[in-house]
Amino acid sequence: MASRSATVARSSSPNARRLGRAFFDRPTVAVARALLGAELWVVSAREARGVRLVETEAYVARDPASHAFRGPTARNRSMFLAPGTLYVYRIHQVVCANVVSRRGEAVLLRAGAPRAPLEGNPSGPGRLCRFLGIELADDGTDTITSGRIGFRPRSRPPGPVSLGPRVGVSRAEHRRLRFSLAGDPWVSRPRPPGRDSR
């Protein structure tokens, strides 16, 4: 048995432990919650980096705060591709990454925890992308098949999840669609403005 698990762990197949299409083809809120504790990895020319996701936000159908609210445009076209597709957009000076759940809906990846604390600061959607090296060119990447970007299942139960209002949105700001690992030091806004978690 030890040899068997060792074989699995050493498997060279990139899909050996990767979140598949079915994981993302679920209600967006379920995907946002289930991503907490999962690993997002990116392979760049120099190295491979990964973070354990600790904070996400759901952007759902008929959601006035969603970029897809008014239908497909040049910017948001990736939001209408297959579940597991990356939607990367630019805001001010930084880029932020989402992963598509169901058509026209997505989960904003807001913060992660680095493998080593001194590695950098992936807390915040812009910092997360900068930390991992995600660029605008990664918009439209299929994380189920890409050799550069993918998700790995969480290895252990994530612990208590906090629920609160989304950050930085000016419409539907009351909706509690932000999920985070309670008490995790890498969550970008430990205290959601206004009301309470859970």
Partner DNA sequence: GAAAAGATTACCT
Partner DNA sequence: GGTAATCTTTTCC
Residue 176 lies near DNA (rule: CB under 7 A): no
3-state secondary structure 2-42: HHHHHHHHHCCCCCCCCCCHHHHCCCHHHHHHHCCCCEEEE
Q: What is the DSSP string of 133-156?
A: T--GGGTT-BTTT-SSEEEE--SS
CA-based nearest residue to 163, from 146, 150, 148, 181: 181
Provide the minimum distance between the beta carbon of 26 and DNA in the complex, in angstroms, as a whole number: 17
Q: Which of 30, 43, 81, 94 binds DNA (CB under 7 A)?
A: 94
- Of 13-21, 35-43, 74-82, 152-160: span binding DNA (CB under 7 A): 74-82
Residue 134 lies near DNA (rule: CB under 7 A): no
Residue 57 lies near DNA (rule: CB under 7 A): yes
Provide the minimum distance between the beta carbon of 130 and DNA in the complex, in angstroms, as a whole number: 8
Q: How far is CA 178 from the centre of its chain?
A: 12
Residue 163 lies near DNA (rule: CB under 7 A): no
- Computed over its alpha carbons, how large is the radius of gyration of the chain? 16
> Do 95 and 134 touch, CB atoms closer than 8 A?
yes
Q: Which of 91, 119, 159, 160 binds DNA (CB under 7 A)?
A: 91
Name the site residues for DNA (rule: CB under 7 A): 57, 59, 65-68, 70, 73-76, 79, 87, 90-94, 96, 98, 106, 108, 124-128, 166-170, 188
